[in-house]
Structure 1
Amino acid sequence: MTNGQPQYPTGLGTSDATTIRLLGHDLAEELMGQVGFGELAFWLAAQRRPNAGEVRLFETVLVALADHGFTPTAIAARLTLLSAPESVQGAMAAGLLGGGSRFLGVTEDTGRFLAEVIAEAGDAARAATDAEWDALARKALAERKAAKRLVPGLGHPVHKERDPRTAVIVRIAREEGAYGPHLALFEAMGRMAPEVLGRALPLNGAGVCGAALADLRLPPELLRGFALLARAAGLLGHLAEELRRPIAADIYHAVDRNAQYVPEDTL
């Protein structure tokens, strides 16, 4: 406390009568028109300014996660706009609140899983060769299999053979010198899956996004937040399209008119 008043420290933004400061810089004079939104989002979360290569990989991840069509989150946003057309914020929030373990959560789950495996391996995960990554992946996969737990980021409900996003993210990470232990371990998981799990499973693009974000040294506990940041753009696109070419009423009517009452004791 200062002079008897409580203090609430922040290193993000502040303002006075004539200026706005963000991250220690003059917003109008030093940031606006000079810093892209992706760079700023990274900077705000990481509290360090990313270099150009990190920005390119980070924005590649955001693009990869922005929209996947009529997912439950997009449908929820459209139906909420139908119900409350005066509340764009409510529709956006409805879609974002649906970002969980089945949709969008795989980015965080994969990043956390890889970080835990690497932390447990300690020195064995430093400057490892492909063979050493394979051995580490084999061990982690076997442990998951024995515990009857799914491996985050392996497999995709639509892209059964390969997720088209995966190779692009890995390539850009390598080009920008941002390919690190999380991506190396995750690629090894894909190589070892047939041997340990008995079948080949593609690296889920959202999972690769989690590995790439972890290699950018972003906190594992924030990884879902970056997926939500990306999906916000997609949801806004769905709401804009809903205003131009509405389909939410058709979805509502299709469910409502085909609802079948089933007595509880027959379920």
Structure 2
Amino acid sequence: MADPTQDSRAWWRTSIIDIEPGRIDIRGYPIQDLIGRLDFVEMIWLMVAGEKLAPGRRDLLQAALVAAVDHGPLAPSISIARMAATCGVGLNSAMASAINVLGDVHGGAGQECLTIYAAVDERQQAGMAIPDAVEQVLRPYLDKRRNIPGFGHRFHKRDPRAVKLLALTEAAAARDEVSGRFVAIGRGIEAWLGDQKKTVLPMNIDGATAVIFAELGVPPELGRGLFVLSRSVGILAHAWEQTQQGGRIKGPVPPAVGYTYEGPQNKTDE
């Protein structure tokens, strides 16, 4: 007689965790063997990639996650976390409200940048020089007057986070801990944009973290997930700080600032 629970057991399939009373195995490792031995960044990678990270590669991932945690209370996701905290919701709701706005526009540049790097790399691996590959991939962006994700910043003339991350990645490449291919691609895009726009348009945090994620073999969609994981730390910190500060139903600006009304005036039914 067929096991009536067989179909139910196959309903969810996972290679991440195997659990039963008294036993928890993560990717085949007993959890008690990981506790106290893996740091949090190593555990993240084991969970999402299914393997342990070599020390140099772990340091790069850690640097990328540290660099992207916060960009101030005027960043939309951070503002939303703080506003939600003044509305009487718990930390989980404040965090969820903030995380839910990390989409294509706010939070998605790294994913798109990873896609661009992959397209340039594919052409380079086929024998095309980096400047020609960059031209082929990015010319449509310029022709349509689209922003180039990962390059330039509305606030920083040169993003200090990107400068540090690129230096760390170049050092790791010199030690053969990563290939260095995507560092070269990122630098090649910077140079090409400088020629096209006749001005410096340096890499920003999204472009630099995308370099690291690409060097580690992270797919674009997972790259966004890792960014969200990183920014969640800042979201939590701001939501908690606002909870401690108090305040009730705070909007995006003080009430005295007001807003602009653009609708009709003095309408009547007569």
TM-score range, shorter chain: 0.7 to 0.9
SS at match of 1:21: strand
Q: Are residues 1:11 and 2:15 paired?
A: yes
Change (3 A) 1:237 1:79: same
Provide TM-score, normalisation by structure 1.
Answer: 0.86
Q: 2:114 aligns with which of 104, 111, 119?
A: 111
Change (3 A) 1:247 1:231: farther
Please name the residue that 2:217 is paired with. Answer: 217
Flag the structure with larger Rg: 2
Please name the residue that 2:96 is paired with. Answer: 93
Distance 1:200 1:258 in 2: 37
Distance 1:260 1:147 in 2: 31
Unaligned 5+ residue runs, structure 1? 126-131
Please name the residue that 2:199 is paired with. Answer: 199
Change (3 A) 1:143 1:228: same
Change (3 A) 1:148 1:24: same
Please name the residue that 2:153 is paired with. Answer: 156
Change (3 A) 1:260 1:138: closer
Q: Are residues 1:146 and 2:143 paired?
A: yes
Change (3 A) 1:264 1:184: farther
Q: 1:68 aligns with which of 71, 93, 111?
A: 71
Please name the residue that 1:129 is paired with. Answer: none
> Contact 1:138/1:196 (CA < 8 Å) preserved in 2?
no
* Identity fraction in percent: 23
Aligned runs of 1:129-144 on 2, under 5 Å?
Answer: 132-144=129-141
Change (3 A) 1:241 1:218: same
- Alpha-carbon shift at residue 106 of structure 1 (Å): 1.2
Change (3 A) 1:251 1:43: same
Please name the residue that 2:165 is paired with. Answer: 169
- Alpha-carbon shift at residue 169 of structure 1 (Å): 1.1
Q: 2:47 aligns with which of 44, 47, 50?
A: 44
What root-mean-square deviation, in Å, do the aligned CA atoms of Structure 1 and Structure 2 show? Answer: 2.4
Amino acid aligned to 1:242: Q
Distance 1:56 1:144 in 2: 33
- Alpha-carbon shift at residue 23 of structure 1 (Å): 1.2
Unaligned 5+ residue runs, structure 2? none
Distance 1:265 1:12 in 2: 61
> Contact 1:111/1:182 (CA < 8 Å) preserved in 2?
no
Change (3 A) 1:253 1:206: closer
SS at match of 2:126: helix
Distance 1:253 1:67 in 2: 20
Distance 1:170 1:241 in 2: 31
1:174-216 deviation per Cα after TM superposition (whole angstroms, max 9, x unaligned): 3222253222111111112121233220111222101210110
Change (3 A) 1:260 1:222: same
Query: In terms of mean alpha carbon deviation, does 137-146 or 17-26 score higher?
Result: 137-146
Distance 1:26 1:55 in 2: 21
> Contact 1:66/1:232 (CA < 8 Å) preserved in 2?
yes
Which aligned runs of 4 or more in structure 1 are off by greater than 6 angstroms? none
- Alpha-carbon shift at residue 241 of structure 1 (Å): 1.0
- Alpha-carbon shift at residue 109 of structure 1 (Å): 1.2
SS at match of 2:25: strand
